[in-house]
Amino acid sequence: MPEVRALIAAAGTGSRAGLPYPKTLHPVLGTPILVRLLETLRPIDPAPTVIVSPAGRDDVARCLAEHQAAASLVEQSAPTGMGDAVLCFRDAPAFADAEHVLLVWGDIPLLERATVEALLRAHLDHCNDFSFATRFVDQAYTIVERDEAGRVTALVETREAGLEPGPGERDIGLFVFRREPVFDLLARKLPGSQGRATGEHGFLYLVRHLAERGFKVEAIPVATERDLISLNRLSDLDPLLQGDVR
């Protein structure tokens, strides 16, 4: 099996959720989100890289020590977007050996191991360059675009495109990709890299550039209802607290 290293993007401060600590440390069902993710990813990478903010590094390190969880911490010096956060992986010890990178947003508390394993298996079996987990939902905040043959051509953020969320296929913040083409294109900051709404260096715009250059991109519809929950505001956890998600 090729070398796969896990990367957790967790530099969010938690301010939007009204938290005094990084949102990846918020406890869900009694366990911090980050610790839950590390446990989920352990069979693939026993010590993932975690991208943190300078202000949140000590809190994250303390949490890891308290839970005896292994990870390598790399700082994103300024909050300049997810694209820049991913590029910080170049400073991690694991970067040199990573043939494929398994990328997870750090605010997905209920990500299931079976979903991760199904995505990784499909990615490797299909010899893809870039794969991501999806689910069809009533309100898609990102939209998978496909051509007439069903091939993925783009992954669009509705906020950036000025669209209202509606029924469609969306991603969940779980990706796996070959390191070389993705980091090469990401470092170039190609057209569409800077979000019109945020002004930050994004990440999802890469899907269009990879597809246009003939790289093999696949959306894998393996995500569950539990995988869809992410913490932007504390109210996002209401379905879980109310028992609406099993």
Q: In this structure, which amino acid lies at residue 137?
A: V
pLDDT per residue as tens digits for the range 87-97: 999 999 999 99
Query: What's the sign of the alpha-carbon dihedral 153, 160, 235, 86?
Result: positive
Q: Is residue 127 part of a domain?
A: yes
**Distance (Å, rounded) from C-alpha 147 to C-alpha 153?**
6
How far is the first Cα of the chain from the last one, in angstroms, to the nearest whole number? 33
> What contacts 24+ positions apart, CB below 8 Å, involve 62-70?
63/25, 63/32, 63/34, 63/35, 64/34, 64/35, 67/32, 67/35, 69/34, 69/35, 69/38, 69/39, 70/38, 70/46
**Distance (Å, rounded) from C-alpha 121 to C-alpha 222?**
11
Q: Is residue 115 part of a domain?
A: yes
Q: Is residue 66 part of a domain?
A: yes
Question: What pLDDT is attached to residue 13?
Answer: 73
Q: Cβ(2)–Cβ(102) under 8 Å?
A: no
Q: Is residue 241 part of a domain?
A: no
pLDDT grade, residue 14 (50/70/90)?
Answer: low
Q: Cβ(142)–Cβ(156) under 8 Å?
A: yes
pLDDT per residue as tens digits for the range 158-215: 888 788 889 999 999 999 999 999 999 999 989 999 988 788 999 999 999 999 999 9
Question: What pLDDT is attached to residue 159?
Answer: 86
Domain containing residue 17: CATH number: 3.90.550.10
Q: How many domains does the chain have?
A: 1
Q: Is residue 240 part of a domain?
A: no
Q: Is residue 242 part of a domain?
A: no
Q: Cβ(50)–Cβ(15) under 8 Å?
A: no
pTM for this model (two decimals): 0.93
**Distance (Å, rounded) from C-alpha 227 to C-alpha 198?**
25
Domain encompassing residue 51: 4-234
